[in-house]
Amino acid sequence: MDRRLIAICVVFVITLTLANGCGSSSGTGRYTVPSDVIGIGGGSASTGGGSGSGGGIVETDVDSLIASAWEDFRYGAYSSAISKFNEALLSTNISDTQKASAYNGLGWSLLKSSGAESAYSAFTQASGLNDEAKIGLASALMQRGTKASCQQAITLLENLGLKETSTVFTAIHPIGVTNAGAHAMLAWCYFIVGNDEAARTQIIFARAADGTGDSAVNQIYNSLVAMGLTFNE
């Protein structure tokens, strides 16, 4: 059997928030991928307003709503953030750029509270104009665990220029994905679709850029090695 069809239970994360548990084999040709590529906060989302809630003052300006929602996100108040991002999206005078920003924030808030698949639609709405949303959408696609979905994720990540290791991804918001983490995501996808050479290039770069021994990047490396990726020493 092709080693890429062997179901392997692995757990890795790219954000600082770890997801627990592992995938299971369905025997349907899906690859068993980590339960969350980006990671979910434990338990249910907080319903309390974050420091950006304004002490009960209702925000009406779109930019202010989005900024306040990101503050809630920063402190783990995901339900409050979701509410504010949705409120911003209901504004009749929201611009296309603001809409992409709000959908991006909504996607990350849903991902943190409910998982990557729940954020798929929001990330799709934002990915045309927002680089962070491309990362989030790639994560949701990776969770689907098929070659086809990983190939879609590769397209998104390559559109960010990450095929070149000289390209640096810098998140504007506290989504928890580093440049090294983004390149490690691409390494994972390359391996799943059968491009070992590109996977090696990306994960070697990601480990060097990461510089820590117990990070999510290193966990991805260990998972790739366990699944059969080899290196010329």
**Does 61 lie in the same domain as 49?**
yes
Cα–Cα distance measured from residue 129 to residue 32, given in angstroms and rounded to the nearest whole number: 31
Contact 31, 4 (CB under 8 A): yes
Give the largest Cα separation in the chain, rounded.
61
**What is the pTM assigned to this prediction?**
0.78
Q: What is the span of the domain harbouring residue 102?
A: 44-114
Q: Tell me the pLDDT tens digit for each residue of 134-170.
A: 999 999 999 888 999 999 999 999 999 999 999 999 9
**Does 176 lie in the same domain as 206?**
yes
Cα–Cα distance measured from residue 85 to residue 109, given in angstroms and rounded to the nearest whole number: 9
Per-residue DSSP letters for 81-102?
HHHHHHHHHT-TT--HHHHHHH
**Does 185 lie in the same domain as 77?**
no
**Does 78 lie in the same domain as 91?**
yes
Q: Tell me the pLDDT tens digit for each residue of 81-130.
A: 999 999 999 999 999 999 999 999 999 999 999 999 999 999 999 999 99
**Does 55 lie in the same domain as 29?**
no
Q: For residue 23, what pLDDT is reported?
A: 30
Q: What is the number of structural domains in the chain?
A: 2
- Let me know if residue 53 belongs to a domain: yes
**Does 105 lie in the same domain as 54?**
yes
- Let me know if residue 130 belongs to a domain: no
Residue of higher predicted confidence among 186 and 44: 186
Q: For residue 232, what pLDDT is reported?
A: 81
At which of 82, 114, 146 does a domain end? Answer: 114
- Let me know if residue 159 belongs to a domain: yes
Q: For residue 59, what pLDDT is reported?
A: 53
